[in-house]
């Protein structure tokens, strides 16, 4: 532990001297705070589901990217080893963006018929073109069956990819990575506090021609489940920050345990712990069944991972995680009504019929699963490229159950949603990205000697697992604010790795003086 502390102090001193001597720091710092500002702004307009709010996000990232490019050309920005640490994940994200761009791009009808016969058939049915054998004229069409929707998703995907790239470029030190994680947690705390206030005051108002009622805690989101996923991500990062401050301690005697407990109560970890309770209360008051189940399940899984991979300090970490389960879920949860969440789970989880629970009509997990599964036959018709990002509403009427009266805009299962809209190629890219992120986390926990990096990696593991469990019955990843927060979480997981020895220290800009 002493060696680790020396490493941290040396790193801080080293980078402090570098910052004073390097005029590029101020430029990059401005871009960094622009990225942080987007984290705070993104959830405000209903979680970013309106077209204009997505446009603001796209422009925001584009401006920051242009500023970084200008700074690089002027010799004020450099490409550090952190970029090389995340280059594989960035490459996968870039391929994902390229796939969606290809879906939205007008292509010769013959090529579309070769790559996706299903899409060509849909366009033919819509009268966009007909085969020459039928006396028609071949026209350019898209791989997507809803080109306008795919173009909107294309812009958002490019913005998320650019956001990820900028994080790799400007977060070059552990101290800045920790600060960025703290900013993500702070956004969750602020929106949780706002959600609790609006919920307890019973706020009802009209905003952007939308009637908003806060009968459940949902903050700036229209859907409490999407707010729940956002809070799960922020909560997990808060857990990682607390774990990052744990020092390996021998707790073999009673006096050692008492001193450790008193030190914990008087430390900065205690303040963060209290703030995490605010987010836990908000999560419980969303009354989201899977949101609560997902987070506390991921928390338990995080304890097992700490037990398996952390050779020092794992006892303290397990005590802390157990306190969240016992104090937050059981004691505080019973005070604010966790029994209502349990009641919802019991009354709706196993039945295939909707039931009235309080003032809400709840669909069962089975019903939501069946709705999502009913869209899977479309994969046989659009296997490689899918129906096109954002085209679920255009596709679903052909595959929905006969007795289901509604048309869904999203599948209540993000995994099925992505498989349907982006096909096997898109699903393979997302699987590769998540597998790489999990492997990066496990590699950090197993081999890193830096306690802060290990703590942030554990928080990223819990957050990614919780969000993905929740995604089995929800479509929160289709909400731009949640997608942005999850992109930041994956960046934290990748950047928490120790430096690769083979990576160059920096890539100089074109105007930088040559190295002697």
**Which pLDDT value is given to residue 515?**
42
415 pLDDT more than 90:
yes
411 pLDDT more than 80:
yes
94, 161 contact by CB (below 8 A): yes
Distances (CA, A) of 446 to 163, 246, 453, 497: 28, 16, 11, 11
166-186: pLDDT as tens digits: 999 999 999 999 999 999 999
45-63: pLDDT as tens digits: 888 888 888 999 999 999 9
Element (H, E) at 424: helix 414-447
216 pLDDT more than 80:
yes
Average the pLDDT over each of 128-142, 243-257, 340-354 and give the range with the smallest value. Answer: 340-354
* Mean pLDDT, range 298-303, rounded to an integer: 90
Task: Choose between 151 and 326: higher pLDDT.
Answer: 151
**Which pLDDT value is given to residue 511?**
55
What distance in Å separates the CA atoms of residue 367 and residue 401, rounded to the nearest whole number? 11
**Which pLDDT value is given to residue 66?**
97
**Which pLDDT value is given to residue 186?**
96
309-337: pLDDT as tens digits: 876 666 677 777 777 777 655 555 555 54
- A 10 A CB-CB count for 416 gives 24
As a whole-number percent, the residues of the chain with pLDDT over 90 amount to 42
352 pLDDT more than 60:
no
478, 417 contact by CB (below 8 A): yes
Task: Choose between 109 and 20: higher pLDDT.
Answer: 109
**Which pLDDT value is given to residue 495?**
95
**Which pLDDT value is given to residue 407?**
73
**Which of the given ranges, 116-125, 155-164, 294-303, has the highest pLDDT on average?**
155-164
* Mean pLDDT, range 143-171, rounded to an integer: 94
Average the pLDDT over each of 161-175, 262-276, 372-386, 420-434 and give the range with the smallest value. Answer: 262-276
Total residue length of the chain: 516
428 pLDDT more than 90:
yes
Hey, what are 224's tokens?
A: 């409490």
User: In terms of DSSP bridges, do strands 107-108 and 140-141 run parallel, antiparallel, or are they unpaired?
Assistant: antiparallel
> What's the whole-model pTM score?
0.85
251 pLDDT more than 50:
yes
* Mean pLDDT, range 440-446, rounded to an integer: 92
**Which pLDDT value is given to residue 266?**
53
**Which pLDDT value is given to residue 12?**
43
Task: Choose between 172 and 208: higher pLDDT.
Answer: 172
* Residues forming beta bridges with residue 361, ordered by sequence position: 356
Confidence of residue 22 (pLDDT cuts 50, 70, 90): very low
* Mean pLDDT, range 234-246, rounded to an integer: 89
365-400: pLDDT as tens digits: 666 677 778 888 899 999 999 999 999 888 888 887
What distance in Å separates the CA atoms of residue 424 and residue 401, rounded to the nearest whole number? 24
Average the pLDDT over each of 357-361, 402-406, 410-414 and give the range with the smallest value. Answer: 357-361
262 pLDDT more than 70:
no
Average the pLDDT over each of 232-236, 272-276, 456-460 and give the range with the smallest value. Answer: 272-276
Confidence of residue 425 (pLDDT cuts 50, 70, 90): very high
As a whole-number percent, the residues of the chain with pLDDT over 70 amount to 75
Hey, what are 212's tokens?
A: 């908003």
Contacts 24+ apart (CB under 8 A), 438-445: 438/464, 438/493, 440/89, 440/493, 440/494, 440/496, 440/497, 441/493, 441/496, 442/305, 442/309, 443/497, 444/496, 444/497, 444/498, 445/305, 445/306, 445/309, 445/310
**Which pLDDT value is given to residue 479?**
93
**Which pLDDT value is given to residue 17?**
43
502, 448 contact by CB (below 8 A): no
């Amino acid at each position: 532990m002493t060696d680790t502390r020396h490493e941290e102090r040396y790193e801080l001193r080293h980078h402090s001297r570098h910052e004073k001597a390097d005029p590029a720091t101020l430029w990059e710092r401005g871009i960094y705070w622009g990225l942080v500002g987007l984290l705070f702004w993104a959830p405000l307009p209903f979680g970013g589901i309106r077209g204009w709010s997505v446009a603001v996000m796209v422009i925001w990232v584009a401006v920051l990217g242009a500023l970084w490019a200008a700074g690089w050309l002027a010799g004020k920005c450099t490409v550090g080893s952190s970029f090389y640490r995340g280059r594989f994940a960035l490459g996968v994200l870039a391929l994902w963006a390229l796939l969606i761009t290809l879906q939205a791009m007008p292509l010769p009808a013959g090529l579309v018929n070769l790559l996706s016969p299903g899409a060509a058939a849909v366009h033919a049915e819509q009268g966009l073109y007909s085969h020459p054998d039928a006396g028609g004229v071949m026209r350019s069409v898209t791989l997507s069956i809803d080109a306008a929707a795919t173009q909107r998703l294309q812009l958002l995907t490019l913005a998320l990819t650019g956001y990820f790239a900028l994080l790799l470029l400007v977060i070059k030190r552990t101290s800045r990575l920790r600060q960025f994680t703290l900013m993500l947690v702070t956004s969750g705390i602020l929106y949780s506090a706002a959600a609790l206030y609006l919920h307890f005051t019973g706020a009802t108002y009209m905003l952007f021609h939308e009637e908003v009622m806060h009968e459940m805690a949902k903050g700036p989101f229209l859907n409490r489940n999407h707010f729940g996923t956002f809070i799960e991500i922020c909560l997990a990062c808060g857990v990682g920050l607390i774990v990052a401050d744990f020092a390996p301690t021998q707790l073999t005697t009673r006096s050692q345990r008492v001193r450790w407990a008193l030190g914990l109560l008087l430390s900065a970890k205690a303040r963060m712990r209290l703030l995490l309770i605010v987010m836990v209360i908000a999560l419980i008051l969303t009354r989201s069944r899977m949101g609560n189940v997902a987070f506390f399940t991921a928390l338990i899984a995080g304890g097992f991972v700490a037990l398996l991979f952390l050779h020092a300090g794992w006892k303290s970490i397990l005590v802390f995680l157990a306190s969240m389960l016992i104090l937050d879920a059981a004691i505080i949860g019973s005070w604010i009504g966790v029994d209502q969440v349990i009641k919802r789970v019991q009354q709706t989880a196993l039945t295939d019929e909707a039931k009235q629970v309080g003032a809400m009509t709840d669909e069962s997990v089975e019903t939501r699963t069946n709705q999502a599964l009913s869209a899977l036959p479309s994969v046989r018709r659009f296997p490689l490229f899918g129906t096109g990002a954002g085209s679920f509403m255009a596709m679903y009427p052909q595959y929905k159950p006969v007795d289901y009266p509604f048309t869904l805009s999203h599948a209540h299962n993000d995994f099925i949603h992505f498989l349907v809209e982006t096909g096997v190629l898109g699903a393979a890219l997302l699987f590769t990205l998540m597998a790489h992120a999990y492997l990066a986390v496990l590699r950090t926990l197993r081999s890193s000697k830096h306690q802060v990096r290990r703590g942030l990696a554990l928080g990223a593991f819990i957050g990614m697992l919780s969000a993905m469990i929740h995604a089995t019955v929800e479509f929160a990843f289709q909400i731009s604010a949640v997608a942005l927060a999850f992109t930041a979480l994956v960046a934290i997981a990748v950047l928490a790795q120790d430096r690769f020895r083979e990576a160059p220290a920096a890539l100089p800009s074109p105007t930088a003086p040559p190295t002697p």
